[in-house]
């Protein structure tokens, strides 16, 4: 028996964005220092470390609006009967390096929502695809995050 209704499944394909951000040398340097990068090109801010895009596009919300695991509430999801969240994996494809002065555009899309039966009962899986491009449309990074709810 599926706990996912047609209305819940109709959220697949919903998108947030575009969100535009400017990658600056200062932001790259701050991120590099905070994440203890050692390569001079990162510390000078000439090039962003690979995961810089994650912090650049994080939602900025008050602490009391974060979930127990420190994430912001995912607005692309319908209200689901499963509440306990677990990491399911991340697949990332990098197309090009982020450099200072890059104007980046990100879109987040709910790309899948499905249920499976686990040893302790039903599990809900969802996938969010983050697509980051330059303002001219050239791909920069695509990240597919899978989360599991039970």
**What is the average pLDDT score of the chain?**
94
Separation between Cα atoms, residue 148 and residue 143, nearest integer Å: 16
- The more confidently predicted of residues 27 and 68 is 27
Token representation of residue 99: 């450099």
pLDDT, tens digit (0-9, with 9 covering 90-100), for 81-139: 888 888 999 999 999 999 999 999 999 999 999 999 888 889 999 999 999 999 999 99
Q: Which residues pair with 126 in a beta bridge?
A: 113, 147
Residues sharing a CB contact under 8 Å with residue 8, sequence separation 6 or more, in sequence order:
78, 80, 113
Helix (H) or strand (E) holding 91: strand 85-94
Dmax (CA) of the chain: 55
Rounded-to-integer distance, Cα 87 and Cα 108, Å: 17
In this prediction, residue 131 carries a pLDDT of 98
| pLDDT higher than threshold 90 for residue 58 | no
pLDDT band at 25 (very low <50, low <70, confident <90, very high): very high
Listed by start position, the domains of the chain span 6-149
**What's the predicted TM-score (pTM) here?**
0.89
Q: Does domain 6-149 have CATH number 3.40.50.720?
A: no
């Amino acid at each position: 028996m599926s706990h996912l209704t047609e209305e819940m499944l109709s959220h697949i394909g919903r998108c947030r964005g575009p969100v535009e951000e400017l990658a600056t040398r200062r932001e790259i340097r701050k991120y590099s220092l905070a994440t203890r990068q050692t390569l001079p090109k990162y510390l000078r801010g000439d090039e962003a470390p690979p995961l810089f895009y994650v912090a650049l596009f994080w939602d900025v919300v008050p602490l009391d609006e974060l979930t127990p695991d420190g994430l912001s509430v995912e607005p692309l999801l319908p209200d689901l009967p499963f509440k306990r969240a677990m990491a399911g994996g991340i697949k990332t494809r990098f197309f090009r390096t982020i450099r200072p002065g890059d104007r980046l555009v990100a879109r987040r899309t709910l790309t899948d929502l499905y249920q499976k039966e686990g040893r302790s009962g039903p599990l809900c899986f969802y996938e969010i695809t983050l697509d980051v491009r330059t303002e001219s449309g050239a791909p920069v990074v695509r990240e597919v995050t899978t989360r599991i709810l039970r």
